[in-house]
Structure 1
Amino acid sequence: MEIKAGGFTFDVHVAGPEDGVPVLLLHGFPQDHREFDLILPRLHEAGLRTYALDQRGYSPGARPADVADYAITMAADDAVAVLDALGIEKAHVIGHDWGAQVSWVLAAAHPERLHTLTAVSVPHPRGLAVALRNQPSQRARFAYMKIFQSPVAERILLARDGAVLRRLMRPIGPRAAMYARAMAEPGRLTGALNWYRALSGRHLAGVGSITVPTTYVWSDGDPVVGRPAALSTATWVSADYRFVALRGIGHWVPEEAPKALAEVALARIGV
C-alpha cells in the first residue's frame, strides 16, 4: 500500500494475519522490502502482521533531491510517521544494514513506539564509532564508503548492467540481479547512495542507551563489521539483551540465513 507520511509517499508491503501484532521491517542497501521475503512466512505462521517499508530514496514518492534530506535521523522520523499513518501505536522492529542503523536511532529516540528490537549486521552506532576510532581493521572494512560517497558512484555501480552490485551481493545468488535491476530505475540509486553521502557523526553522537528488549545479530563472515564492533553493542543496551553470532554467514543475513534469523527474531518477539 502507499502511505502518505511526513510529506512523502512510502510503499509499505503489508502481509500476515490482519489481527496480528505488528512488525515493522527496515531494509538496507542496496536492497528493498524484498530482502525480508524469505523470513516472512515464518513470521506470519507465528501470527504476526508485517509491514515492510521501502525507505526514503527507495520509494518513488520519497526521493528528495538534497543530500541533506537523507540524514539517518530523518529516516527514523519516517518510520514514526509511517506507524502514525497506519494507526500503529507500538511495533516490534527488525532492521538490517542501514535499516538496523535506523532502528537503533528509532529505539533510542522513541522507545515508546517499540515492543522489541532485532538489529541485524550493523551494531549500535556509538559502539561502532568506538571501534572505528580504535580498530584499524574496522576502518579498513569501511573503506568502500568513500567510493559510495563519491560523485562517480552511480556510474561505477551501474556499469555493465550493475556488475559491481551483483558481485557485492554474490552470496545471495540470483536475487542479487533483482536488486541490481531495481537500481537502474531513474533516481533510485542516487537516493540510496545519498544515505552514505549524508552520513554524519553529528547525527549519531546523540544516540543513547537502548531501553527496549533487544537482540543484535552478527555474522562472523561479515566483511563490513568486525567482532570488536559487534561486541561493543552490549555496552549500549540497558534492557534485556541478547547477542547472536551466526557462523559461516556473510553480511546478507535475511537472505543467507533466513531460517535462523526468523527464529532469532521470534525468540525476541516472544511468540
Structure 2
Amino acid sequence: MTELSISTAEGVFDAFVAGPPKGRPVLMLHGFPQTGLVWQRQIAVLAAHGYRVAAPDQRGYSPGARPERAEDYRMSVLVDDVVAITDELGWASFDLVGHDWGGAVAWWTAAANPGRVRTLTVVSTPHPRALATTLRTDQDQRERSRYMIDWRDTPATEERMLTNDASELRAAYAGKIPQASADAYVQHLSQPGALTAALNWYRAGRPDGAIGPIDVPTLYVWSTADSAFGEAAAQETGQWINGPYRFETLQGISHWVPEEAPETLNRLLLDHLQTHGEYGTTANRS
C-alpha cells in the first residue's frame, strides 16, 4: 500500500493505493470520523487478488481539498469528487465500496452513474430513501439519528470532541477499532480545520436532488449492534434495488465493520466482486 496524490479541478486528494496497475479498479470511500486508512485490511486482500484499489481521503479530510463553507460539502459535490478522482485515475468503470458517509456517497454515485459503477458494496449505511422512510415511520431510527442534528452546532461540537485528548471523538469508536487506527484518526482530525471540514458533511443541508433505485449489482452489509442504523432501515433498503441484490447481516458487530470484522467483510466483498463480471466487461451484471 502506497500513498498517492490525485489532482483534480476541485483540489488534491490523498489516497492509499495498492495492487497491479492494470488490475480491475476498486474505489473505497471512508466515513466519519475516519480516513482511507479504514480500508487497509480490505486493500491488502483485494490487491493480493489482483485488484487495483484506491482509498482516498475524501473532501475535507484531504488538506488539499478542504473548502471552508459548509455548502461546499453538498452531496452532488461529493459525487462529483468521485467522478473526478476516477477520471484522473483513468478508470472508465470501477467497483465502488463505501462505509458510513462513504456509503451514502456510494449510493448516490451508483444511482447517478450506473454506466460507470460496475458493482456497489455499501457497509452500514442504508439506501438514502430507505433511511428517509424510516426517519418518518420508525421512532427507533429517529433516536439513532439524533446525533446528526446535534453535531451541526459550530464551533461547540469541534471544541467538545477535541477536548481532553479528544476523549469524545475517541469514544465514538467504542473500543471496536485498533488503538493505532484511533490514534491516527484523532491526529488527522486534530489538524487545523480538519474536524470542521468533516462535520461540514452534516451541515451542508439536504441533497440537492432525489435518488432513485439502484440498477447495478449491490451488496449491502449491516450489523446488528450498529448504533447509527437500525433494522428497519436495513430491511427497507432492498426495496430500492432493481439490480441483483445481496443483503448480509453480521450478528453482534458494531458500526465499525471494516475494522471489527475484516475477515468476514473481505470474504463477502471478494465473493461479490468475483460473482459480477471480469475486468473490462460491463454487460455481465447478473
With structure 1 as the length reference, what TM-score do the two structures score?
0.97
Matched position secondary structure for 2:210: coil
CA contact (8 A) 1:10 1:55 kept: yes
Matched position secondary structure for 1:51: strand
CA contact (8 A) 1:25 1:95 kept: yes
Which amino acid in the other structure matches residue 248 of structure 1? G
Whether 2:210 is the aligned partner of 1:206: answer yes
Deviation at 1:73, TM superposition (A): 1.6
1:189: which partner in 2?
Answer: 195
2:84: which partner in 1?
Answer: 81
User: Structure 2: 5+ residue runs without aligned partners?
Assistant: 276-286
1:261: which partner in 2?
Answer: 265
2:241: which partner in 1?
Answer: 237
Matched position secondary structure for 1:247: strand
Deviation at 1:18, TM superposition (A): 2.0
Which amino acid in the other structure matches residue 176 of structure 2? P
CA distance in 2, matches of 1:164, 1:146: 17
Q: 1:114-160: CA deviations, max 9, x gaps?
A: 11000010010001100110001100001111221111110011011
Q: Find 1:180's aligned residue among 183, 186, 199.
A: 186
Matched position secondary structure for 1:37: helix
Q: Find 2:176's aligned residue among 171, 180, 189.
A: 171
CA distance in 2, matches of 1:7, 1:166: 30
Question: Which has the larger displacement, 82-91 or 36-45?
Answer: 36-45
CA distance in 2, matches of 1:73, 1:38: 29
Deviation at 1:268, TM superposition (A): 1.1
2:162: which partner in 1?
Answer: 158
CA contact (8 A) 1:162 1:181 kept: no
CA distance in 2, matches of 1:199, 1:233: 22
Deviation at 1:178, TM superposition (A): 2.0
Whether 2:74 is the aligned partner of 1:71: answer yes
Q: Find 1:11's aligned residue among 10, 14, 18.
A: 14
2:283: which partner in 1?
Answer: none
CA contact (8 A) 1:20 1:48 kept: yes
CA contact (8 A) 1:221 1:251 kept: yes
1:246: which partner in 2?
Answer: 250
Which amino acid in the other structure matches residue 91 of structure 2? I
Deviation at 1:267, TM superposition (A): 1.1
2:23: which partner in 1?
Answer: 20
2:105: which partner in 1?
Answer: 102
What's the % identity of the aligned pairs? Answer: 45
Deviation at 1:3, TM superposition (A): 1.4
2:227: which partner in 1?
Answer: 223
CA contact (8 A) 2:7 2:13 kept: yes
CA distance in 2, matches of 1:7, 1:239: 32
User: Structure 1: 5+ residue runs without aligned partners?
Assistant: none
Deviation at 1:72, TM superposition (A): 1.5
Question: Which has the larger displacement, 93-102 or 169-178?
Answer: 169-178
CA distance in 1, matches of 2:13, 2:178: 28
CA contact (8 A) 2:127 2:240 kept: yes
CA distance in 2, matches of 1:172, 1:62: 26
Deviation at 1:162, TM superposition (A): 0.7
Stretches of 4+ aligned residues off by more than 4 angstroms: none
Matched position secondary structure for 1:14: strand
With structure 2 as the length reference, what TM-score do the two structures score?
0.92
Deviation at 1:41, TM superposition (A): 1.7
Which amino acid in the other structure matches residue 120 of structure 2? L
CA distance in 1, matches of 2:70, 2:188: 21
CA distance in 2, matches of 1:3, 1:49: 15
CA distance in 2, matches of 1:32, 1:239: 29
CA distance in 2, matches of 1:224, 1:61: 30
Matched position secondary structure for 1:61: helix
Deviation at 1:216, TM superposition (A): 0.4
Q: 1:141-195: CA deviations, max 9, x gaps?
A: 0111122111111001101111011111021140222211211101110100000
Q: 1:241-268: CA deviations, max 9, x gaps?
A: 0000001100011000111111111111
